[in-house]
Amino acid sequence: MSAALPAVAVSAGYGRGIACQLTAIFLFSIMGVLVKGLGDAYPTSQIIFFRSLPALIPLMLYLPNQGGWRALLTKRPDLQFLRASIGVVSMFVGFYALANMDFASYVTISYSAPLFGTLLAIPFLGEKVGIRRVTAVLIGFSGVVLAAAPDDSGISLYALLALAAAFAYGCIMVVMRKLGTIDRSAATVFYFTLAGVIAGGVLMPFEWVTPEPVDLALLAGVGVIGGVAQIFMTEAFRQAPTAVVAPFDYTAMIWAVPLGYLVFGSVPSVQVIAGAGIIAAAGLFILYRETQLGLKKPRLKRSSL
């Protein structure tokens, strides 16, 4: 991939961005394991509340380095509300699915988000997507079907919910393309996290389960780890172009397989691994094509956290 993008990938200075992204993906993988492990004992609303509230701590500590409270100002509250709403729905559906399915399978299905984002950009952003990218999307979805139906019983309800969460994240990608040229990333992260606190806090009292001290620490850890991971990911995209950083999203599978085995004793099927490879290949090709086309257009200034 780096050889195909010499215009953006040769700088040694991008190493920090890559390291930040690798750290973020690892931390998000750990967070996913905690969410799955806690999902059997605690309602999704409670997990989302704890995923959100403690996440504000690292964000507030990082904020002074990014211009202080001014970084939270927004010029498009309507888009921030839309992004936060879709994000909360994606979390509810995704966390519920994750709690009830194989960890590696969930991670694999989540890879389909960029495929949805590519298709949704056509009607909502007016982007022109050529036959090669459309073909890559179709090939990628064949990998999703392969990974989501690893046996003869067909696609499970939880796999469909995981796919719905990926679709929601694809919608978020489209909204983020607009917000990225308007507001700072700090504002987007803050309003999304605040929405999670509110949504989880409203529903949580109706299904509250009092956690043991160890579980309480793990629940808080979900939020802190998620918040730190978000900062690392934002910093990654500040340090290096998307074309350099984004491909490392797929290293999540490197962590999903051993973590799934060590923590849950699950081993992904050959179909799941094959599906992951197909989806990753399709996603990388789409990124490559978008980068090629982007180099021919005037660049927009990228917002930073």
How many CB atoms lie under 10 A from the CB of residue 220?
A: 16
pTM: 0.86
**Averaged confidence pLDDT in the chain:** 86
pLDDT score at 151: 63
What value does the mean pLDDT take over residues 158-171? 93
Environment class of 59 (CB within 10 Å of its CB; exposed 0-12, middle 13-18, buried 19+): buried
pLDDT digits (tens, 9 = 90+) for 90-128: 999 999 999 999 999 999 999 898 889 888 888 888 878
Whole-angstrom Cα distance, residue 226 to residue 34?
11
> Who has greater pLDDT, 56 or 152?
56
pLDDT digits (tens, 9 = 90+) for 258-304: 999 999 998 888 889 999 999 999 988 888 887 776 655 544 333 33
pLDDT digits (tens, 9 = 90+) for 237-262: 777 776 677 788 888 988 999 999 99
Whole-angstrom Cα distance, residue 174 to residue 93?
19
Torsion of CA 19, 25, 29, 30, to 10 degrees: 40
DSSP label at residue 153: T
Boundaries of every domain in the chain: 15-294
Cβ neighbors of 164 (< 8 A, separation 6 or more) are: 93
Residue with tokens 């990974």: 147
In order of 73, 109, 234, the CA distances from 183 in angstroms are: 7, 30, 14
Checking if the pLDDT of 10 tops 70, the result is no
Whole-angstrom Cα distance, residue 283 to residue 247?
8
- Of the chain, the percentage scoring pLDDT greater than 70 comes to 89
Torsion of CA 173, 176, 180, 186, to 10 degrees: -110
